Amino acid sequence: MPKAETQKRSKQSSASNPNTASAGSAGTHVANGTSSADTAAAAARPQTQPQRDTGAIYKPKFSDSLSRVNNFSIIESTLREGEQFGNAFFTTQDKIRIAKALDDFGVEYIEITSPAASEQSRQDCITICNLGLKAKILTHVRCHMDDARIAVETGVDGLDVVIGTSSYLREFSHGKDMDYIIKQATEVIQFIKSKGLEVRFSSEDSFRSDLVDLLNLYKTVDRLGVDRVGIADTVGCANPRQVYELVKTLRNVVSCDIECHFHDDTGCAIANAYAALEAGATHIDTSVLGIGERNGITPLGGLCARMYVADKEYVMEKYDLPKLREVENLVAEIVQIQVPFNNYITGYCAFTHKAGIHAKAILNNPSTYEILRPDDFGMTRYVSIGHRLTGWNAVKNRVQQLDLRLSDDEVKEVTAQIKQLADLKPLGIEEVDTLLRVFHAKINTPLMD
C-alpha cells in the first residue's frame, strides 16, 4: 500500500502547568503560576546554562549478542487491544485520528481489530488501510480460516494470528488439543502466505502453557515461514526473569522474529518488555496509556521512557517523542479518562521538583535528579516553591527571575516567611511573588528621619 512521506519532526511545546512560572535556569520553571510581566522579566535576564554532567551513568553492558534493546519495533495496538478497554468506543473518525497520530509519532506497525468482529470493524479496517500511512497495518485474527479469508481482502499488510495454548484455554475456551492447533495453524498460515502478506503466529496465555507444546508449535510455524512468532502474557502473571528465560529459549529454537505482548495485571508489563528485548525479542506490543482488556498492556510512553534510558539516540531517531503527549491526550479524550498525574513522561508531576535539596541540585545540574531530559519530549521542568519544604536556593532563583535584589541572608529570611505561611496552606506563585516584592520593597525603602 502507498505510504505517505515522512513528516518533518517538530518540537512541540508542552502546555504550561497552570501553577507554574519560569525559573532562572534554562528549561526550568518554578511553580505554581506565571504572569506576562514575570515571563518578560525572566526572558530579559541572562540564563545560566546548567553545568555539564560529568558523572558516570550506570548502563548495563549487554554482552549477550541476542539483545535487541537498540534494535526493536513497536506494534501499536491501541486500535485493537485498546478497543477492548472497558471505556473504549471508537468511531471511524476516532480510529482515523488515532492512526494518524500514531503514524506521526513513528510507530512501525499499527494493529487494528479483526474485520471479522463486525461489519463496521471490517469497513474501518479498509478505511485505515486506505489512509496511506507509513506504518504497516496489521489485523489481529483468530486461527480460523473464516477470519483469515475476511482479513486478507481488506488491504492490510499482515495478519496477527492467535490461538490459546494453555490448559485453561484449551479446556474452557476453544476446546481443541495441540494436534488440532498445529493442523489449523498450518492451514491458516499457508493461506495467508499465499496472498503475499506478513504473518505472525502467537500462542495465547503462553506463560501458563506447557513448554514442550509451545516449542513444538513454534518450530512448526517457523518452518512454515512465518515472519514472527508471538509470546503473550495474557493474564499478566509473568515476571522479567521468566520472560527472559522463555524468550531466550525460543530464540534458540526459531529463526524468525519474536513478538511479545504483556498484560499489566501485576505491574510488570514494561519490565517484561525490556527483559524480552534483552533476551532477543524483536517486536513489542503497546497501547497508548496502556489501555486494553482489564488494566491493559505495556504503555507506549512507558516503553519509550525505558528504552530512552537504554539507548537515547536510537529512540530519539526512531520516534518523534514530543508528539507522545499529543497522542496520549487524544486517546484520553476519546475514552474519557484523565492522563494519570504520575504518567510516564507526560504526567502532571513527571518533571516537578519540590524538596529543597532536590531543587538546589536541579538548578545546578538537572541530571542530578532526572534520568529523562524533558526537552527531548517537549515537556518542561518545574521547581515548586510555595510550600513548607522549599529551600532558599529555589527562592533565590525566583528572586533573580523577578529582577529583585536580595542578599543571601535576605533570601533566607524571606524563605523562612514563605515556609511559615505554607505551614497553614500551600501558596500559589502569585502569592509568593507578592510576598517577595513586598519584602524587597521593605528592605530597599530608605528610612525617614
pTM: 0.80
Find the Cα–Cα–Cα–Cα dihedral 132, 74, 221, 147, rounded to 10°.
-50
Relative to beta strand 20-22, strand 28-31 is antiparallel
Q: Report, as residue numbers or ranges, the catalytic residues.
A: 358
Q: If you search the block for the grid coordinates 480460523, which residue do you land on?
A: 144
Q: If you search the block for the grid coordinates 515556609, which residue do you land on?
A: 419
Task: Pull the grid cell for residue 127.
Answer: 478505511
Which ranges of the chain have pLDDT less than 70? 1-66, 168, 446-449
pLDDT in tens, 137-184: 999 999 999 999 999 999 999 999 999 887 767 777 777 888 899 999
pLDDT at site 367: 84
pLDDT at site 172: 73
pLDDT in tens, 232-250: 999 999 999 999 999 999 9
Domains for the chain: give ranges and CATH numbers.
20-49+351-444 (no CATH), 73-334 (3.20.20.70)
pLDDT at site 39: 36
Element (DSSP H or E) covering residue 185: helix 178-194
pLDDT at site 135: 98
Q: How far apart are CA 152 and CA 145, in angstroms?
A: 11
Task: Report DSSP letters for 317-373, one per residue.
Answer: HHS-GGGHHHHHHHHHHHTT-PPPTT-TTTSTTTTEE-SHHHHHHHHH-GGGT-SS-
